[in-house]
Structure 1
């Protein structure tokens, strides 16, 4: 199974590399959204405060994740899924998708932070912890959206259905991410928000475990 996961991850990277225009489009979307935020807030209203800086950053990352991960299952044709079904186990397939899109989202979030800092300035006091929150938050968003994409791909109007299904899953996750990253921005003692970090880690573990356990039933359908 480990070899199957590695092979499927390689397949995802090769597929993404062959369709570099999609990846470039995501980066362009990320950069242009940050620039619009900069034009709207920085130039007209002056410097924004820290809570607004933090919330805007994660809203941008959320929409970027939706655009990047939405295609994980929706772009796969039924014939190709049937071919994968004959080659790999459902568990290996969902784990490979989750790992690949987690790596992709961490990369997009880091690029987004670079652009965001360039345009909006940096307000982060504890950068290592803020980067850790970005990694955990990106994994959580990627894991949740991957599973929701798999569910939505089985129904008509999958794009609309994905937006509806992802809303109740992502909002609690996004709230805890924003709260934890704000604590890192303020440079608070790390023990103060350790419980929030553990909660974020637990939510990620629950999402991944639920995907791993339930995806085989979806896979057979």
Structure 2
């Protein structure tokens, strides 16, 4: 079976398991809606800078809750089964693809509900949605890789927080700056540097995952 076929099979498996249980995505959706509503009750109205920063903070914690379970929920028996039928690259790639799809759905719901609750004018809607799209891919790729590393440790929850902090903070700062430029309706060429760096980070993280995860998986 080719790597592409393995990835396709594993992604379908992830979607099927999620569809059967539904408790995970329902819990995350409840977290998103309730957090946005609580913020609305607390602030009522916010300025554009706070509007943008608050959105990314909500998305950050939503992505942690959504993606942390990628490898942490897999028991040793299931991991051994995967090891015998698929390659390590297919496993990490399928996890990234599934988590990207999950984050895109959550981001679409979050930005729609957030915009309704906190009415605010976005200067460049297309570029702001582009920042949300890239941010979803970034969160999914980073947290999937770190979840795979943390799953091999005994205190995986604490290790995931420690490993993700130095990676996610610069990424979050870039996303906030990029989306703020779009929100202010600035010329698009002003944001090209941030856009290029974000794309480069995603490429580096995914490439590093494909290279390093097979060595980790053998353990």
TM-score (norm 2): 0.97
C-alpha distance in 1 between matches for 2:130 and 2:103:
13
C-alpha distance in 1 between matches for 2:164 and 2:104:
19
C-alpha distance in 2 between matches for 1:122 and 1:147:
34
Aligned to 1:220: 218
Q: Which of 145, 149, 152 lines up with 1:151 in the alignment?
A: 149
The reply to whether residue 92 of structure 1 matches residue 94 of structure 2 is: no
- Counterparts in 2 of 1:136-175, with a 5 A limit? 136-175=134-173
Query: 2:48·2:120 contact (CA, 8 Å) conserved in 1?
Result: no
Aligned to 1:73: 71
Q: Which of 27, 38, 53 lines up with 2:29 in the alignment?
A: 27
Count of aligned positions: 217
Quote the RMSD (CA, aligned, Å). Answer: 0.8
- Counterparts in 2 of 1:114-125, with a 5 A limit? 114-125=112-123
Secondary structure of 1:193's match? helix
Secondary structure of 2:46's match? coil
| Structure 2, unaligned runs of 5 or more | none
TM-score (norm 1): 0.96
Cα distance per residue 1:11-37 (max 9 Å; x no partner): 010011111011111000000000111
Tell me the CA shift for residue 118 of structure 1: 1.2
C-alpha distance in 1 between matches for 2:101 and 2:131:
14
Cα distance per residue 1:85-107 (max 9 Å; x no partner): 01111111101100110110011
Query: 2:4·2:90 contact (CA, 8 Å) conserved in 1?
Result: yes
Tell me the CA shift for residue 157 of structure 1: 2.0
C-alpha distance in 2 between matches for 1:81 and 1:169:
27
| Structure 1, unaligned runs of 5 or more | none
C-alpha distance in 2 between matches for 1:174 and 1:204:
13
C-alpha distance in 2 between matches for 1:85 and 1:22:
25
Aligned to 2:40: 38
Aligned to 1:10: 12
C-alpha distance in 1 between matches for 2:58 and 2:51:
11
